[in-house]
Amino acid sequence: MTQDAVVIEQTGPDSQDTQNARAKNGFIGDYVKLMESITDAPEEYHDASALFLISTAAGRNFVFSSVPDMNLLGDDDIEGRMLNLWFIFIGRSRISRKSTVAGHVESFVTALDPMLLLPLDFTPQALVKELAAKSNGTTTPCVWINDEISGFFQQLKDRTFMLTTDTVLSRLYDGRDYERTTIGRGTEKIPKPYLTLHLASTEYLPSLFDEGRLRQGFLNRFIYVVARRSKRKPLRTKLGDERKRAQALLEWLKDLHGRTNVVELEFAPDVKRIYDEYEEGIEDKISKEDLGLKEGYLGNLPNFLIRIASIFRISRLSRSELQNGGLSSLVVEKEDILRALDYIEQIWVWFEEVLHIMQTTATSRRAETEEYRLERILSIIGGFGDGDGWITQSEILRRSHLTSVSLQELLTTLDDRGDIESDRRPPSPRGGRPTTIYRVRRTPPLVISS
């Protein structure tokens, strides 16, 4: 447990062993057991993939009753907190089986509804065009699955035309209508979007994350699943009953996805007390501590808690309950939120790993950049000096394309290190001011005493 985690103590009948036993029941447990029988990918990947599939299939037909999320000027439709989740799976190439996991998830989504899937890559303009085409006029459900997402984040970091992508995606995450006017196609509308993400990359990915996007909230919307395979399984060449089990899971997802009425989830009284205590602890921590980059993500944990606890409750529904057209409300029970609290604690540990990689890489990159600039200035001084090796500061400035302030800092560092020496050249006979000149420090002759 990390020092930044906010935890609710669990005792008595709701002990860890009891929760683990319950976790084996329902869609999530069945999905994990199926995937563990055919691949040696980390169990954490299967857990998260099961949550993702339920989140995707539930769509906007399952909402958590939350007054702050309701539109006061909207119609009479039931509104509340949506259950869409965004995952990024992080692990080493080849041995973590990220692509295998994503492939199985995509096969379930394709069998559920192939129209949900977005292209692997897109520009902001192409994304809006694609989503507008997918809209059924009232809602816009969509899924983005990509087993190597580092290129997207590299473009997000480097290219000006990608700068609006995170803004568009953030609005879609929040489920807010979006529209854009074009010259050729007129107004493209995305009504009531519902977007889930199942993305993956290597441990290199966090080095591409931008601190600004973390502070502004875009990166705080993701659940980062950082896992390592514990043991390789021998290659299997034949399936057992896995296809039958997979078909049963697919039929459950189809029942969930095929509902036509909205089901409203709410907390049981004891669950609400647990949630309020947890959220109060989070807010108290934020108000009293300087958390830096962690603050935004910590503040989003209660949001994750609501969504995941609700999905755990949905996971326990039977097919007959899903097929019951009269089902309009569902109570999230204590076992659901306690399982979700366990998961939230793991989410926080994963985030700290991602942040560590991000900050370590940024520090290393800054150090490398500083050393490169020092070497560049040193090469300018050594390569363009006069017959005695001297070069004016204004000439160094012209050749380096730096600002005066930046150049002066680098020259001071080189002088302090003993790499260069400086002098003052008097004004010319025509007047002017003295000029500072520099040259690479020359090693004094070695004096040998007799």
- Domain ranges, ordered by start, for the chain: 12-363, 384-440
CA proximity to 91, closest of 50, 151, 148, 49: 148
**276, HSE (Cβ side, Cα atoms, 13 Å):** 7
Are 352 and 359 a contacting pair, CB within 8 Å? no
Rounded to whole angstroms, how far apart are CA atoms 338 and 312? Answer: 10
186-200 pLDDT tens trace: 888 899 999 999 999
Considering only 75-89, 136-150, 306-320, which range has the smallest mean pLDDT?
75-89
Structure tokens belonging to residue 245: 């089990």
Which residue stretches of 384-424 are H helix? 393-400, 404-417
More confident residue, 285 or 163: 285
Tokens of 353: 């790993």
CATH of domain 12-363: 3.40.50.300
Q: What is the pLDDT of residues 360-404, one digit of tens each?
A: 876 665 565 778 788 889 888 988 877 788 999 988 988 887 788
Rounded distance between C-alpha atoms, residue 156 and residue 153, angstroms: 5
Residue 67: CA count within 13 A, CB half-sphere: 0
| C-beta separation of 318 from 30 below 8 A | no
> What does pTM read for this prediction?
0.76
